[in-house]
Structure 1
Amino acid sequence: MELEVRHLRALCAIAETGSLHKAARQLGVSQPSLTTQLRRIENSLGAELFSRERSGCRPTPLGRAVLTRARPLVAEMAALVVEAKAAAARAHGARLRVGSTASSALPGWLGRLRRRLPDADISLNVDVSANALLRMVAAGQLDVAFVHEVEGCPLLVPDGLFRRVLMEREPQFISMSLDHPAAAASVVELSDLAEDRWIVDPTVDGEWDGLRRVLTAAGLNPPVLHGDYHTAASLIAVGEAVAPCQPTSGSREDMAIRPLRGDPLAVRLLLCTPPGPQEPYDDVYADLESAYRESATRAAVYRQWLRHHKNPLFTPAA
């Protein structure tokens, strides 16, 4: 068996994540498939590259030696692919491939981009995983990615990506049913939600870990449901659960959105772009900033929060 780039990429992913399960998710393959691939690689070399322990996978001395050579090869191949795709894009005319996690600013951003670049081929890829989008930018599959980073749960930003911070700390609000007792207040105490079921989407990078950290710090251990936020909305509306939500979330007749006292839950909003000259992305970022400001000031509760905290996003004219 001859080692190929995909084999080296698999070895690097296992070493980076320390787990076959996490590496398989990062590579977009099943864990049994990755395990089989690793076994074949080790059989071809005649020795183990990783020791399997209860805490995860650790490179053996031979594994460390192989990784020392593999990592620069994988990085060079990734750079070659990015450059080749960029050259192909230039040859076929203007295009902009946009990636984003869920955001109410997304429609306004796309509208501005299409008006600014009427002849460009603009595509959109929405994913719950910010890390997956960042890997796509690094691999040359996306030109920009607008993502959020849960406080206390850093994203795995590939080397070389350029980061612009749209919001250093965006507070996460709480959505609840209209008849929830806490909905009568303009600001909710975290302790007021101690007896509620919380619902969180575990597929969103850092979402569950960030919430668990905040609840634990507050001495709370409420029951937690795992599910997507589309399902969550119907459960919240009938009083079966509460959930964190973006402050720019649009108002609903069957749901209340309130800030938490002290804003313990927060995310950082980032626009990530490939290495190289950043001037082509200046207008892309300006359009995103404008769309986010519009979305933020349109949400009444968030607008009040911005005004109270004298945030530069708030302008009385808005």
Structure 2
Amino acid sequence: MELELRHLRIVCRVSDTGSVSKAAAALGVSQPSLTAQLHRIEEAIGGPLFERGPYGVMATPLGRHVLGRARAMLADMDDLLGSSRRYTDAPRTLRLGSLRTVMFGAWLARLEDVLPEREFSTQVDVSCATLTDLLAADVLDVAMIGRCDDDHAPPCPPGVREQTMVHPEPVALALPLNHPLASRTDITLADLAGDVWICPPAGKEDGDLASLRDACERLGFTPQFRYYNLDGTEIEQLIAAGRGISLCAPTVRDIPGSVIRPLVGQPISWRRVLRYRPENITQAELDLIHRAFIDTYRTTIAENAELRPWWSEHPDSHPTIIAP
């Protein structure tokens, strides 16, 4: 079998997710099909690329070598395709990226209404670092990213700009129904020193864990992290089963078997931004995308957060929405 670029993307996706099943879901194929493809790729290269580790699959020494070369080759190819589009006169599809969110479908529907002359291709990921890499490689034109503070978030690469839509976005807590603090609405980060934290969904590290760790260590304790390389459904199931707690956005829907509570004092907050390549999108289009997002965001807050009894009593937990 001759290796093709699509095979290199498979190897990179397995590495990024730490799981063949999650890579298969991200690529839209079945796990048995992807496993068979991976075996053929390893046969073509001459050895195993991954082995099982304590938190999912890990690259072997051969795998690390292949990944380093593969990422460089894919970045070069993406740059070639992206830069070549500038020399064509055909109407271009707007390549939209987004952090995985309950709002994405409603936001995209608004975008298709306000930008009817544009067609959209979409890529959704759990990691703002991955989306930033795709922008840097000119694979995406614009992406909605929810990121942590500047000290820990992936910086904007050269040629990519950022426009803030929501800041600050105070984080909330997802707790099991039987958690000792589940009935309280005055929970501080220090109150959670003995808890187990469930890690964010599997994907390239984007600074969220480091941000949480620093916030906890400023209060005198080191958080206990457990359960890596999970998807959103698995995280919700573990919270409901009482195995740990997690940060969540104020837009989150109610989780069966869990409660959503405010985190007092805003020790951690996120911001929602658009990162974009200015040569591929006009400011007028960017502002329409921005407006469509914050309209969707307000609706989602009204449908979820505003229905929680504690919401009106905790204005410090409300996000600040910024118009374009």
Opposite residue 181 of structure 1, the aligned amino acid is P
Work out which of the two has the higher radius of gyration on C-alpha atoms and give 1 or 2.
Answer: 1
Of 280, 288, 310 in structure 2, the residue corresponding to residue 283 of structure 1 is 288
Q: Residue 58 of structure 1 aligns with which residue?
A: none
Once the two structures are TM-superposed, the CA of residue 143 in structure 1 deviates from its matched residue by: 1.7
1:106 to 104, 107, 111: 104
Distance 2:314 2:321 in 1: 7
8 Å Cα contact 2:169-2:318 kept in structure 1: no
Retained in 1: the 8 A contact 2:213–2:223? no
Equivalence for 1:304: 312
Question: Which shows bigger deviation, 152-161 or 232-241?
Answer: 152-161
Which whole-Å CA distance do the structure 2 matches of 1:119 and 1:288 have between them?
18
TM-score (norm 2): 0.67
Shift of 1:313: 4.5
Partner residue in 2 for 1:140: 138
Residues 167 and 320, structure 2, Cα contact 8 Å, conserved in 1:
no
> Contact (CA 8 Å) 1:99, 1:125: kept in 2 or not?
yes
Q: Is the 8 A contact 1:169 1:268 kept in 2?
A: yes
* 2:169 match: 170
- 1:136-178 deviations in whole A, cap 9, x for unaligned? 2233211210112212303131112121101222111110112
Distance change >3 Å, CA 122–CA 79, structure 1 → 2? closer
C-alpha deviation, 1:115, in angstroms: 2.1
Higher RCO (CA < 8 A, seq sep 6+): 2
- Structure 1 residues 34 and 138: alpha-carbon distance in aligned structure 2, compared to 1, 3 A threshold: closer
State whether residues 166 and 319 of structure 2, in contact with CA within 8 Å, keep that contact through their aligned partners in structure 1.
Answer: no
Letter in 2 for 1:211: L
- 1:1-318 to structure 2, matched below 5 A, reads 30-33=63-66, 81-88=81-88, 91=90, 93-118=91-116, 120-151=118-149, 152-201=151-200, 203=203, 204-227=205-228, 228=230, 229-276=232-279, 277-298=282-303, 299-300=305-306, 301=308, 304=312, 307=315, 313=321
Rate the CA distance shift 1:140–1:205 in 2: closer, same or farther, 3 A.
same
Distance 1:105 1:86, change over 3 A: farther
Q: CA deviation at 1:84?
A: 2.2
Asked if 2 retains the 8 angstrom alpha-carbon contact of 1:85 and 1:140, the reply is no
Structure 2 vs 1, CA of residues 217 and 310 (structure 1 numbering), >3 Å: closer, same or farther?
Answer: closer
Q: TM-score, normalised by structure 1?
A: 0.68
Does the 8 Å contact 2:79/2:139 carry over to 1? no
- Aligned letter for 2:224? P
Q: Deviations over 1:157-216 (max 9, x none)?
A: 111212110122211111011221211112312233222211113634112111111111
Q: Tell me how far apart the structure 1 counterparts of residues 262 and 99 of structure 2 sit (CA, whole Å).
A: 21
Paired residues, what number? Answer: 248
1:233 is displaced (CA, Å) by: 0.9
* Pairwise CA distance, 1:78: 8.1
The answer (yes or no) to whether the contact 1:296–1:303 under 8 Å persists in 2 is no
Report the CA distance shift for 1:242/1:140 in structure 2 as closer, same or farther (over 3 A): same
RMSD: 3.1
Of the structure 1 ranges 198-207 and 180-189, higher mean CA displacement relative to structure 2 is found in: 198-207
1:182 is paired with a residue whose SS is: coil
Change (3 A) 1:166 1:35: closer
Alpha carbons of structure 1 residues 79 and 241: separation in structure 2 relative to 1, 3 Å: closer
Residues 195 and 122 (structure 1), Cα distance of their counterparts in 2 relative to 1, 3 Å cut: same
Contact preservation (8 Å) 1:81, 1:139: no
Unaligned runs of 5+ in 2: 1-57
- Counterpart of 2:288 in structure 1: which amino acid? D
Determine the C-alpha separation between the residues in 1 that align with 2:258 and 2:312: 18
SS at match of 1:104: coil
Q: 5+ residue gaps in structure 1?
A: 1-24, 38-73
> % of aligned pairs identical?
27
Residue matched to 1:20: none
